[in-house]
Amino acid sequence: MNDTDSLFARDSVFRRVNREAVLLLGGQRALLLQLAHPLVAAGVADHSDFLAHPLRRLWRTVDTMLRIVHGDRATAEAAARALDAVHARVHGALKEATPMFPAGTPYRAHDPALLLWVHATLVDSALVAYEAFVRPLAAGERERFHTDSRVVARLLGVPEDLLPQSYPAFAGYVDEMIAGQVLQPTPTARRLADAVLKPSLALLPLRAASVVTLGLLPPAVRARFGLHWDWTRERAFAVARSAVRAVLPVLPDVLRTMPQARRAERGRDC
């Protein structure tokens, strides 16, 4: 596959960031930010097997995004259509009231505001994880990353007039959502978050990684979920971050790089 087949240039900061497997450490952060929105949490609870398989949804989302980022145009468009078909079935009414949303508030996955928030959690978490574990990005790199992320957002149905026009505007939107009253985890959201942070014993390594998820979360969201954070966990997170930064440069590509990116770079289908 050459660059003209893809939505994004192979040397773009967007593809460079999204080839790093370490971004999976930010995936659970994105999930919790999504679940903090009562309408998103309701849709997840009502229309998925999330409690039984909490990380299946995360991998489906990651795989969709990586097919769009690293695949050719036909692969990207097919991935977007498949996700759109799933979203078409997701609609209902909120059962648990929050200060912003009374019980009975309707929700639908195609709601542009919800699409924007879910998209923003993925973009923001990718940047947070990359800068925590790989290296900081310059302001210009963040801007180019944001510009390319808008292409994905439009492909997934976010209206152009709703999209932040610059990276500072995007960061401002995320900050406002975190500081505002929309993100108020419901009891259902807390149960879903518990499934994310405490998966089955078969996924024991992911339980150990929960300190990384908590460390990457904005403190305000951590507090709203009632997730405990103290000096011991802060120190464990710092040690984990330093260890990942030290190991990453010496990892073989097969371990460091997302499989979708490796296949694309070998000229194969994602």
Q: What residue segments make up the domains of the chain, in order of their start?
A: 3-265
| Token output for 8 | 């994004």
Q: What's the 3-state SS for 168-194?
A: HHHHHHHHHHHHCCCCCCCHHHHHHHH
70 contacts 2 by C-beta, under 8 angstroms: no
Given this model, what pLDDT does residue 47 score?
A: 92
Question: What are the residue ranges in the chain where pLDDT is below 50?
Answer: 201-204
Q: What is the DSSP code (8-state) at residue 93? A: E
Given this model, what pLDDT does residue 3 score?
A: 55
Given this model, what pLDDT does residue 270 score?
A: 63
3-state class percentages of the chain: helix first, strand second, coil last, to nearest 5: 65, 5, 30
256 contacts 21 by C-beta, under 8 angstroms: yes
pLDDT digits (tens, 9 = 90+) for 110-131: 999 999 999 999 999 999 999 9
Given this model, what pLDDT does residue 266 score?
A: 84
**What is the model's pTM?**
0.93
221 contacts 178 by C-beta, under 8 angstroms: yes
pLDDT digits (tens, 9 = 90+) for 46-82: 998 888 777 777 888 889 999 999 999 999 999 999 9
Given this model, what pLDDT does residue 206 score?
A: 53
Q: Which residues of 242-251 are buried (b: 16+ CB within 10 A; e: fewer)?
A: eebeeebeee
